[in-house]
Structure 1
Amino acid sequence: MKKFFLFLIGAVSLIILLANIGPLIGLTISLAIVYFSYRFFQKSESTFGKVAWFIIGGIAATTAIANIPSLIGILALVVLYFIYKKWNNDKPSDQESDDPFDHFEKQWMELK
């Protein structure tokens, strides 16, 4: 039953992630443009260059703000990652471990 719920949550997260691929790409590109325009703004020595890079960075920042809903896609990706880790780390409960500290009472009764 636990695997079923993990699968169900994973499927919903995958659908949300796939629905937000476009905005995620747009956010990535616009943030890259903002970063590079800021770097070129700092390196520019002419006033025209600074104004041009400021305008380009402002337009890219506006585009990045418009793509903020893609953060839901990033959250879905994080949920998928944790579900993947949980799915692979599940140990069957019917197997007993050989570690004596897991079942201290049982080991203590065997010693007596």
Structure 2
Amino acid sequence: MKKFFLYSAAFITAIIALCLLAPVAGLLISGALLAAGLHYYTESKSTFGKVMSLVVALAGLVSALSNIPGFIGLAAIGVLFYLYKARKNEKIEFLPGKKEEEDPFTNFEREWANLNK
């Protein structure tokens, strides 16, 4: 029964994500406008160039903030990714940290314990 609910939720989320694919593309374009405006603002030497870059960045910001269906589409894609990982029983790390094997102090302690045996 758990698999049935998991597949049902994934199916509904996939339909929502597909329906909101165009607003997500619009959100991507708005974000690109915002990023381009901020990039050219930092690179510009003249006052006119800075003002025009800020106008482009503000247009991208207003466009991105007013695109609520795009944010819902992004959330649906995120939930779909989570359900896909849950189906495969994979652990999802939102903030990946250092693994124990990569920590040099843990390796040192393990080797020191092996030497003292």
Q: TM-score, normalised by structure 1?
A: 0.72
Tell me, yes or no, if the aligned pair for 1:37 and 1:57 is still in contact at 8 Å. yes
Within 5 Å, give how 1:76-95 maps onto structure 2. Answer: 76-89=76-89
CA apart distance, 1:70? 1.6
SS in 2 for 1:48: helix
Indicate the RMSD between aligned Cα atoms, in angstroms: 1.6
Cα distance in 2 for residues equivalent to 1:42 and 1:79: 36
Runs of 4+ with >4 A deviation = none
Structure 1: state its 5+ residue gaps.
91-112
Q: Which has the higher contact order (CA 8 A, sep 6+)?
A: 1
Fraction of identical pairs, as percent: 38
Within 5 Å, give how 1:1-112 maps onto structure 2. Answer: 1-89=1-89
CA apart distance, 1:10? 0.5
Structure 2: state its 5+ residue gaps.
91-117
CA apart distance, 1:39? 1.3
CA apart distance, 1:17? 0.5
Render the CA deviation track for 1:30-89: whole Å, top value 9, x for unaligned: 111111111111111111111111111111111111213322112211221122122222
Cα distance in 2 for residues equivalent to 1:83 and 1:64: 27
Q: TM-score, normalised by structure 2?
A: 0.69
